[in-house]
Amino acid sequence: MNQKAVTAIIVGAGHRAMIYASLADRNPELLKIVGVADPNPLRRRMVREKYGFSEDMCFESAQELATKGKLADAIINGTMDHQHIETAIPLLECGYDMLLEKPFAMNEKEAMELVACAEKNHSKVMICHVLRYAPFYYSIKERIARGDIGEVINIQQVEHVSYHHMSIGYVRGKWANSQKCHSTMLLAKSCHDMDIMMWMMSDTKPVQVSSFGGRYQFVPENAPEGAGTVCMKDCPYVDTCLYSSKRLYLDHPKRWAFYVWDALEHIDNPTDEDRIALLKSDSPYGRCIYKCDNDVVDRQSVVVNFASGATGSFNMIGGAASSMRRIHIIGTKGEIFGELEESKYTVRMINPSPDAKNGEHDVEVVDLNITGDMTGAFGGHGGGDGRLALDFVNYVRGGEASLACTSIFDSLAGHLAVYKADQSRENGGVPVSLFDDCFVSGSKE
């Protein structure tokens, strides 16, 4: 395996790309950032100054970068979802390997186009399904892979999107309107969860999907009587509404700072007065939560039928009191269930012996002893962010692919299931089939 640091260029210097790139801060012997491509000159300068490369390694776009040929080992592609095809393909054609943010494509046609490009160029393209790297899910996958609970016959998953996360991303924010972001809620937010389902069920394929969902809570008719259109400008409920921009963002200025205050990034130390002025202006984050241009669902249910005969279900509910991801997997010998945020899961094994402590099954509680917000040195998503970046470096260097490593080929099943689920939802829940020719052969090597 190559022992040299992997050289990488950031394409789209947004929040997610910078998190993955931060491995270079902690382990410069593993990863070295040598360039940036971003249309925003402030972000180009920020990355250049942070990592110390020259001006001639700054580019306004992926297309401009591609004209220079291959200048590094890999690309960290953190562009917006709908830009992945136009930014990834020219760079893969140059011979780069790539860490590509999820979802990697907006629809089945784009997905097949990108997969074919990766296959043709023998590119190592790894999709940022960071939940696979969270110790909680990784440990459960190890148990499934060993056959601890036998053959899986059913998998149930739930994701609660917190009220403040729902507001910032999917009602007021970048992923609120599918016409603008070109993505559905299930694709933008929960393709993580659908990927986890496909990963746990990797010995079989999804063959049929059905789904229901829609907008329920964040609609104009739910606005309080007399509510304004800009919270801090003309609304009498600014101090009492659960979704007041004052209460969510001004009172918690650091919680979603990268999104809410991005229009102030040209100011070194913005004041509260600067923030107030922004929320009173045309900032999308200052709008009444019930009077935005959002059109994505705020809850959705998905049912999947697998070729093996196993079934799976996933429920996404937006606007919950707190974030939560729960999983329950039932096999022929036992079951595993737990919550990501607790970093703890329970294994129940069938035991008809009269000596069984519980009379009918044995119980094992696995506590992974991860506390707090589970960020620390390994980043968010239950500790998955940093581990993903480490695995990408190992992947590019030619090391053995880990159990979690998500090549673009491995990511395809989850994406296809999402596309078909949304197709079903848009047609009243009518089941939609996935065919064998949807899947392509490929490898992590």
Do 268 and 343 reside in the same domain of the chain? no
Which of 246, 264, 286 is a domain's end point? Answer: 286
437 pLDDT tier (thresholds 50, 70, 90) = low
138 and 87 both lie in a single domain: no
On whether both 198 and 309 belong to a single domain, the answer is yes
Note the helical H segments in 133-204.
Answer: 135-146, 163-166, 178-181, 185-188, 191-200
Q: Taking the model in full, what pTM does it have?
A: 0.91
Looking at the DSSP assignment, which residues form a beta bridge with residue 180? none
Q: Is the pLDDT of residue 401 over 90?
A: no
- DSSP lists the bridge partners of residue 157 as 314, 327
User: Do 350 and 414 share a structural domain?
Assistant: yes
pLDDT value of residue 444? 41
Share of the chain above pLDDT 70, in %: 95
pLDDT the model gives residue 359? 73
Q: Residue 355: pLDDT above 80?
A: no
Give the pLDDT band of residue 356 (cuts 50, 70, 90): confident
- What is the average pLDDT across 42-53? 96
| Of the candidate ranges 218-222, 268-272, 308-312, 331-335, the one whose mean pLDDT is the lowest | 268-272
Is residue 294 scored above 90 in pLDDT? yes
Q: What sign does the CA torsion over 201, 202, 203, 209 have?
A: positive
What band does 386 get if pLDDT is binned at 50, 70 and 90?
A: confident
Domains contained in the chain, number: 3
The residue from 248, 268, 286 where one domain ends is 286
In a domain, residue 371? The reply is yes
Tens-place pLDDT, residues 164-194 = 999 999 999 999 999 999 999 999 999 999 9
In the numeric block, the tokens 């919950």 are attached to: 320
Range(s) of the domain holding residue 269: 226-286
CA distances from 276 to 232, 271, 439 (A): 8, 9, 50
Report the mean per-residue pLDDT for the chain: 93
Same domain, yes or no: 275 and 176: no
How many angstroms separate the CA atoms of 312 and 113, rounded? Answer: 28
Boundary-marking domain end, from 286, 308, 324: 286
Residue 96 placed within a domain: yes
What are the Cα distances from residue 106, in Å, to 112, 236, 299? 11, 40, 20
Rounded to an integer, the average pLDDT of 227-237 is 97
Residue 113 inside a domain? The answer is: no
- pLDDT band of residue 243 (cuts 50, 70, 90) is very high
Same domain, 155 and 211: yes
pLDDT confidence of residue 383: 62
Tens of pLDDT, residues 89-108: 999 999 999 999 999 999 99
Same domain, 424 and 370: yes
- In this structure, are 329 and 366 located in the same domain? yes
Residue 107 falls within a domain, yes or no? no
- My answer on whether 83 and 25 are in the same domain is yes
For residue 27, the model assigns a pLDDT of 95
Backbone angles phi, psi at 138, to 5 degrees: -60, -45
Confidence of residue 369 (pLDDT cuts 50, 70, 90): confident
Same domain, 70 and 14: yes
**Sign of the CA dihedral running 53, 54, 60, 66:** negative
- Asked if residue 72 is part of any domain, the answer here is yes
| pLDDT per residue as tens digits for the range 110-161 | 999 999 999 999 999 999 999 999 999 999 999 999 999 999 999 999 999 9
Question: Above 50 in pLDDT, residue 292?
Answer: yes
Residue type, 416: L
Residues 164 and 261 reside in one and the same domain? no
The CATH number assigned to the domain holding 83 equals 3.40.50.720
Q: Is 399 a member of any domain? A: no
Q: Quick check: 343 pLDDT over 60?
A: yes
Which pLDDT score, from 0 to 100, does residue 371 have? 57
Residue 438 pLDDT exceeds 90: no
CA distance 442 to 445: 9
Would you state the pLDDT for residue 375?
A: 40
Q: How far apart are CA 342 and CA 268, in angstroms?
A: 37
Note whether residue 272 is domain-resident: yes
**Burial tier of 271 (Cβ tally within 10 Å: 0-12, 13-18, 19+):** exposed
Q: What digits encode the pLDDT tens for the residues 9-42?
A: 999 999 899 999 999 999 999 999 999 999 999 9
Is pLDDT above 60 for 330?
yes
Is residue 108 in some structural domain?
A: no
The edge-to-edge listing of strands for the beta sheet with 324-331 is 361-367, 344-350, 334-339, 324-331, 152-162, 311-320, 299-306, 206-214, 432-433
Query: Is the pLDDT score of 382 beyond 70?
Result: no
The CATH number covering residue 171 comes to 3.30.360.10
Q: Letter for the amino acid at 325?
A: R
Cis peptide leading into residue 103 (ω within 30°): yes
Q: How confident is the model at residue 373 (pLDDT cuts 50, 70, 90)?
A: very low
Confidence bin at 353 (pLDDT 50/70/90) = confident
